[in-house]
Amino acid sequence: MDNLFGETLKDWRNQRRMSQLDLGLSANVSARHISFLETGRSKPSRMMVLRLCEELDVPRPARNQLLNSAGMAPAYVKRDLSEQDMEPVRSAVDWMLERHTPYPAIAMDKSWAILNMNKPAMFLLSGMNINIGDSMIVALAENKMVRDAIENIDEVIAHTVARLRTESAHLGGDQVLDTAIEKLTAQLGDYTHPETGVLPAFIPARYRANGMVFSFFSTFSQFGTAEDIALSELKIEMMFPADDLTRDLLIGMMTNTQ
């Protein structure tokens, strides 16, 4: 008998490195019930599917797949950001991007495709021929202008690969991210982090643009209570100056363009 739900549930449990007992305790059910769900001896309720997905931190699209495999309708939809009920989200994203000026900020989807960016980000990326709609990880892997513009390209690639592996693992594997990981890892070759004793607080990315060098570190923001698929996958990279020179250059440039 086909037991797609049970097999998929077991796959996610193994990916999250949880035993049946761990998952049962977390979801407030017995390990025996988890075993019965995985073997097909028991059928889950809709509430049980969603509870297990929550405990396993299953991404929204995969939750829909688990519901479907159990013979149930999906719970999550993927709205376009242009839809009327997404207006508060658009306003929030625009607010974050613009208020981050004079520092660069970029809104991206799960594949790192640029959805929007502020003027400082446009200034920084336009010189590398990166525009809205382009993927940052594809540009890093394939755009020679990007690789030539980043002074510490090996460090940036190494940190990007580590982040992409984490994101792909969270998604249960992602073809776009995994392809980028493969390409970027091949470019690294035998590169290893330099052994210099105590590591710095952060590794900045140093960009050359218009005869100047800009040094940045980044933070990533996401919507923590999102139930919409697109919204749950949206992330905003906010870049901050890693030195006084970068800060002064950005403040000066944005002041002169106003």
- Give the residue-averaged pLDDT of 97-122: 95
pLDDT band at 46 (very low <50, low <70, confident <90, very high): very high
Checking if the pLDDT of 194 tops 70, the result is no
CA distance 145 to 190: 23
User: Which has more confidence, 120 or 226?
Assistant: 120
Average pLDDT along the chain: 91
Checking if the pLDDT of 233 tops 50, the result is yes
128 neighbors 149 (Cβ within 8 angstroms): yes
pLDDT band at 198 (very low <50, low <70, confident <90, very high): low
Residue 245, CB half-sphere, CA atoms under 13 Å: how many?
A: 6
Residue 195, CB half-sphere, CA atoms under 13 Å: how many?
A: 0
CA distance 255 to 61: 43
Checking if the pLDDT of 119 tops 50, the result is yes
pLDDT band at 199 (very low <50, low <70, confident <90, very high): low
pLDDT band at 195 (very low <50, low <70, confident <90, very high): low
pLDDT of residue 66: 96
pLDDT of residue 257: 65
- Give the residue-averaged pLDDT of 93-102: 95
pLDDT band at 258 (very low <50, low <70, confident <90, very high): low
pLDDT of residue 224: 78
pLDDT in tens, 144-178: 999 899 999 999 999 999 999 999 999 999 999 99
Q: Residue 139: is it exposed, middle or buried by C-beta count within 10 angstroms (0-12/13-18/19+)?
A: buried
Same fold, 4-69 and 84-257: no
Domain ranges of the chain: 4-69, 84-257
* Dihedral sign (CA 222, 227, 231, 234): positive
3-state helix, strand, coil in the chain (%, to 5): 55, 15, 35
Residue 29, CB half-sphere, CA atoms under 13 Å: how many?
A: 20
Checking if the pLDDT of 72 tops 90, the result is yes
Checking if the pLDDT of 101 tops 60, the result is yes
* Dihedral sign (CA 55, 66, 175, 228): negative
Question: Following DSSP, what letter does each residue of 74-118 receive, concatenated?
Answer: -S-----TTSGGGHHHHHHHHHHHHHTTTS-EEEE-TT-BEEEE-
pLDDT of residue 118: 96
- Give the residue-averaged pLDDT of 41-52: 96
Q: What is the CATH number of domain 4-69?
A: 1.10.260.40
Amino acid of residue 247: R
pLDDT in tens, 208-224: 877 889 999 999 999 87
> Domain 84-257 falls in which CATH fold?
Beta-Lactamase (3.30.450)
